């Protein structure tokens, strides 16, 4: 049996307009934990959700993410940004070196509210649930057609992603000081 060594930037990549995922260790490598490097673009909000079986670990490498991992006193369907736990916990602004562990059945979310991409290390147990999920959602986002939110919701259900608030990707507007001709380039 051999281990797996990947130089920086290496691994199988899935790149879409909404995320860039690099597979670092997968079931195909003999790993029971799926490990990914994820680039989260500005304006991406995964929405609050829960997994019945999976447990996850997030580690911020570069940038700033808003993170949440608790059952709120009151769930709201539109967004999770103001949720509060019975102990008074709220969303956390996580910078490089911050991490979040999420056991099964725990509502959690992340959002890039900044204007810069964020890089994070993401692990999910058991493998290969999120591997298959990332592959399928990459196909949906890359289809070029309008993304059907009902199709995304059904796909997420199949992968043990029980959505509480909507997944959103609303890129920030282009800088106003860019010339109009360059904006579409």
**Inside any domain, residue 7:** no
Contact in structure between 48 and 108 (CB atoms under 8 Å): yes
Q: Is residue 3 one of the residues assigned to a domain?
A: no
Residue 88 lies inside a defined structural domain of this protein: yes
Answer yes or no: is 86 within a domain.
yes
Q: For residues 16-20, give the mean pLDDT.
A: 80
Query: What pLDDT score was predicted for residue 183?
Result: 38
CB 64 within 8 A of CB 94: yes
- On whether residue 2 sits in a domain, the answer given is no
Residue 180 lies in a domain: no
* Confidence (pLDDT) at 69: 98
Domain that holds residue 164: 12-172
Residue 55 CB burial class (10 angstroms; 0-12, 13-18, ≥19): middle
Q: Is the pLDDT of residue 84 over 80?
A: yes
The number of distinct structural domains making up the chain is 1
Is residue 183 domain-resident?
Answer: no
**CATH code, domain carrying 80:** 2.60.120.10
CB atoms within 10 A of CB 185: 6
Rounded average pLDDT over 142-154: 74
Determine, yes or no, domain membership for 4: no
Per-residue model confidence (pLDDT) at position 151: 78
Tell me how crowded residue 60 is: count the other CB atoms within 10 A of its CB: 22
């Amino acid at each position: 049996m051999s281990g797996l060594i990947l130089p920086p930037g290496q691994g199988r990549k899935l790149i879409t307009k909404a995320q860039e995922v690099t597979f670092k260790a997968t079931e195909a490598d003999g790993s029971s934990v799926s490990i990914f490097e994820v680039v989260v673009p500005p304006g991406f909000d995964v929405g609050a959700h829960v997994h019945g079986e999976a447990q996850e670990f997030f580690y911020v490498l570069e940038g700033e993410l808003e993170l949440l991992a608790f059952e709120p006193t009151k769930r709201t369907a539109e967004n999770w940004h103001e949720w509060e736990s019975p102990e008074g916990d709220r969303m956390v602004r996580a910078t490089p070196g911050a991490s979040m562990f999420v056991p099964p059945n725990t509502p959690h979310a992340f959002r890039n509210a900044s204007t810069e991409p964020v890089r994070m290390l993401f692990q999910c147990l058991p493998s290969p649930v999120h591997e298959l999920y990332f592959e399928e959602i990459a196909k949906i986002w890359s289809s070029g057609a309008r993304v059907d939110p009902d199709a995304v919701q059904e796909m997420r259900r199949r992968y043990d992603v029980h959505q509480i608030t909507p997944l959103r990707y609303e890129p920030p507007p282009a800088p106003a000081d860019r010339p109009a001709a360059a904006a579409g380039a």
